[in-house]
Chains A and B, each alone.
Chain A
Amino acid sequence: MLTGKRSLFSNQPGVISKYVLTVLFIGLSNGIVGNVSADAAKGKMLFGQCSGCHQVGPEAKHLFGPILNGVMQREAASAPDYAYSDALKNKLQGGNWSDESMDAFLAAPMSYAPGTKMAFVGVQSEEDRANLINYLRSIDTDGNSSDAATGVLNESEQSSENASNEPPQERRPATEFAVPEHGVLHLGRLALAEEVQAWDIDVRPDGVGLPVGQGSATVGGELYDAVCASCHGDFGEGTGRWPILAGGMDTLTEERPEKTIGSYWPYLSTVYDYVRRAMPFGNARSLSDDDVYAITAYLLYLNDLVDEDFTLSSDNFSSIALPNEQNFIADNRLEEAFRQSSEPCMSNCADEPAVVLQRARVLDVTPEGN
């Protein structure tokens, strides 16, 4: 029975044609990779670093920066309802962006148009800029992008591509494989010192893990303005819902506490560690160790914890204590008073019937379309 069915299926021409299609698709996708379309796909990934301030797509809104739908097709600085800086409007004089002008702008926004709101240090790599421009060009004024250009494949293309990704495996006798000597099950391999060094970037409050280096608050201020201020604000006050970094001293017992590096964070090492591992948002690991020292020094200055001529280094790092360190305590939830009660009440637990004190609908903050 089963054998009969199998021969029926294998007689179908579909089996062979699927194989041919797969081969064709490999050829096709290789063709795309070397061309403009694939660059737009890379540009889409690079756009992550822009998305803190700019949106694209049919639902895009202005954030700190304007909507970029069709930015390469329309008049420059022309998105409706966005207040462009005079600097940018004057620079472009109503013309369209060209590849050259956009490239120059992206390379160093603040040098290209001094006074622009785009307080961003710029994209260093020429190739990255070209890819970003290709991506922006692929998005029309309605915010739709062509699927091919951004590397978005439909479901069947994806599955056939993934299936074809398997390289033909060279089979070898299992006895020819080396077995390592370490461990219990002899799995994995020894990590090389260079590999551990590349990934081991964590820093502890006692200074373990800090790289040798230094940076001044002055240099930190310039870096901060270039790569941090667009989200965290000129003085660490935070724009929109981005985190507040400075101020808020003595607010922890108030109705709306402001939890900043100065008012809340227990350890300076956390600032260094986090900036080094995760910032700037969308361009992680792009800062040098000394850059991170400088930005950390500037954040201390913004919190009035050091003078503006302060230099932070691997030597003086551990001497800096943050004001709120002593106010962190271990988990003592089990000591909470309400836990004393034994078996919970099952009937007649209150004298009066329940009365509504507050309704969710009054606030009306639930998203539409439930």
Chain B
Amino acid sequence: MTDGKKQASLSRRAALKKGLLASGSVGASIATGSLLSSSAQAASHATQSQPEKLITEVQDWNKYLGDGVDARPYGRPSQFEGDAVRRSVAWLTADPKSSVNFTPLHKLDGIITPSGLCFERHHGGIAEISPDDHRFMINGLVDNPLVFTMQDLARFPRENRVYFLECAANSGMEWRGAQLNGCQFTHGMVHNVMYTGVRLSHLLKEAGLKSNAKWLLPEGADPSHMTRSIPMEKALDDCLIATHMNGEALRPEQGYPMRLVVPGWEGNMWVKWLRRIEVGDKPWHQREETSKYTDLLEDGLARRFTWEMEVKSVVTSPSPQAPVNHGRGQLVITGLAWSGLGKIKRVDVSIDGGRNWTTARLDEPSFSKSVHRFYLDINWDGKEMFLQSRAIDELGHVQPTKNQLRAARGLNSIYHNNGIQTWHVRNDGSVENVEIS
């Protein structure tokens, strides 16, 4: 009760102070509003005629005691970061329970996606499963069909790996041309976290594989009973069963209490709420690998089992949701690059729509099948730019242009659009998704 009163009087004081500031100083760069809002263009800080009250006056947060420990038993982002949230595009799908939302890539830096911002894709809503009630089964072409509890799983040797997960349909809305204005929407079906998990090979060995065991069918416990066929070679190579992301238990929307990790391969194979793996000698041709997640080509043929997510990159800032608010001069251009085939070797950035390229600074750490962070620090002359990034992976695969992909596949492939993205930065710093000559 007393806490609530204190909060209220604090915010009254804050409001009063803001009002005074706003009316009392014309022309000076009062940053109270503009600093908090990333979309507003800040006044120039090149000169300052009057002392800034943010400096000369004692601020509320300098004086009044804030929350103590335990006020936030599970911490949360600053109240000033309220727009760093997942967002959806309502017209894309029929029902939010079988839908997708997007990671706010433009608000993030580094390579790790915070767990609460990892995009969601559900086919039957979020299954809420108590770990005590969760069972995981291996059956089919094995010596012993087995059932595991979460406690059993915790007794296998485990390891930590950083991998990106990208939906095969990421950038799928852009096949016909520039459509969505923001990298959150054009590229936000990707996230990158550190998983703690058990090698799938350990679990398969525990059941004992028969000699004709060639394929796996992982299955989820959610109402879609999500399934995909996975070749044994991949399963034994680097697949994990993860229980943790970024050090804590998986989030419910990411498959708590356990999910499959299929490094570098399309996201819907990473079955969430994993309850069963069947071992077989042939693929199953499930709905999500026939009706969906197959790539229709211009001649009417369709590719299936297009598992690998190929080399791709995008500039995350500046971008339509992260315009340049500071005018000409020093500017940080940054973005993400990734490849389902290995590490990123190089990223080139162009500010003139691909006529001339400069190799960007590839930041550490660099993990195989993880996103990489790149930076290009430039002195912007304040003239319009056509920003592009082009990634090259360690196998030498070069990110193609969208037009190269369109020429090879037509416009109806939906999936696997890894083409080069163009952002038009105008001379006022605003940014738009465009297609250029």
Interface residues of A (CB under 8 A from B): 48, 51-52, 155-156, 159, 182-185, 187-191, 195-196, 199-206, 231, 240-243, 252-253, 255, 257, 259, 261, 264-267, 269-270, 273-274, 277-278, 281-282, 284-285, 327-333, 336-339, 341, 344-350, 352-361, 363, 365-367, 369-370
Contact = CB atoms under 8 A, between A and B. Distances in A.
14 contacts: A155-B74, A182-B143, A182-B146, A183-B206, A184-B206, A187-B206, A195-B147, A200-B139, A204-B284, A240-B94, A266-B304, A274-B291, A349-B354, A367-B87
Contacts of B206: 182-185, 187-188
Contacts of B94: 52, 231, 240-242
A190 to B, nearest CB: 6
Interface string B321-340: 10000000000000000000
B174 to A, nearest CB: 9
A352 B386 CA distance: 14
B139 A191 contact: yes
A135 B82 CA distance: 31
Given A187-B155, A270-B286, 6 more contacts: A242-B94, A330-B304, A347-B357, A349-B356, A350-B437, A353-B352
B145 A346 contact: no
A257 B156 CA distance: 48
A346 B348 contact: yes
A178 B411 CA distance: 60
B98 interface: yes
B155 A328 contact: no
Given A206-B282, A345-B357, A359-B178, A190 B287 contact: no
A204 B286 CA distance: 8
A332 B282 contact: no
Contacts of A365: 89, 91, 179-180
Contacts of B217: 202
A196 B144 contact: no
Nearest to A365: B179
B53 interface: no
B6 interface: no
A345 B388 CA distance: 14
B125 A48 contact: yes
A33 B334 CA distance: 52
Main secondary structure of the interface of A (DSSP, over half): loop
Nearest to B396: A342
A231 B422 CA distance: 38
A346 B284 contact: no
A349 B280 CA distance: 50
B154 to A, nearest CB: 10
A350 B296 CA distance: 31
A173 B93 CA distance: 54
Contacts of A199: 137, 139, 219, 275-276
Interface in B396-413: 397-398, 400, 404-405, 407-409, 411-412
B299 interface: yes
A267 B305 contact: no
A336 B433 CA distance: 27
Q: What size tier do the contact residues of chain B reach? A: 35 or more
A123 B269 CA distance: 34
B364 interface: no
A257 B92 CA distance: 17
B303 A329 contact: yes
B263 to A, nearest CB: 17
Given A183-B208, A281-B95, A270 B357 contact: no
B97 A48 contact: yes
Contacts of A267: 285, 290
Nearest to A338: B404
B148 interface: yes
A159 B306 contact: no
B353 interface: yes
A357 B291 contact: no
Contact of B300 (A252, A270, A363): A252
Contacts of A349: 354-357
Given A182-B144, A189-B147, A333-B310, A270 B352 contact: no
B278 A200 contact: yes
Contacts of A252: 296, 300, 302
Nearest to A250: B300
A195 B275 CA distance: 12
Contact of B225 (A277, A357, A363): A277
Nearest to A198: B137
Contacts of B422: 354
B224 interface: yes
Nearest to B359: A346
A270 B291 contact: yes
Interface stretch (B11-19, B181-189, B369-377): B181-189
B182 A370 contact: yes
Nearest to B130: A165
A204 B282 contact: yes
B301 A270 contact: no
Which among B223, B348, B424 has the highest number of chain A CB atoms within 10 Å?
Answer: B223
B408 A337 contact: yes
A365 B89 CA distance: 9
B124 interface: yes
Contact of A328 (B123, B302, B348): B302
A253 to B, nearest CB: 4
Given A204-B285, A273-B287, A328-B294, A196 B304 contact: no
A266 B285 contact: yes
B178 A366 contact: no
B98 A281 contact: yes
Contacts of B433: 359-360
A330 B148 contact: no
B202 interface: yes
Contacts of A327: 300-302
A351 to B, nearest CB: 9
Given A182-B144, A191-B146, A360 B180 contact: yes
A255 B296 CA distance: 12
Nearest to A257: B412
Contact of A282 (B149, B177, B223, B306): B223
A358 B435 contact: yes
B147 A202 contact: no
A281 to B, nearest CB: 7
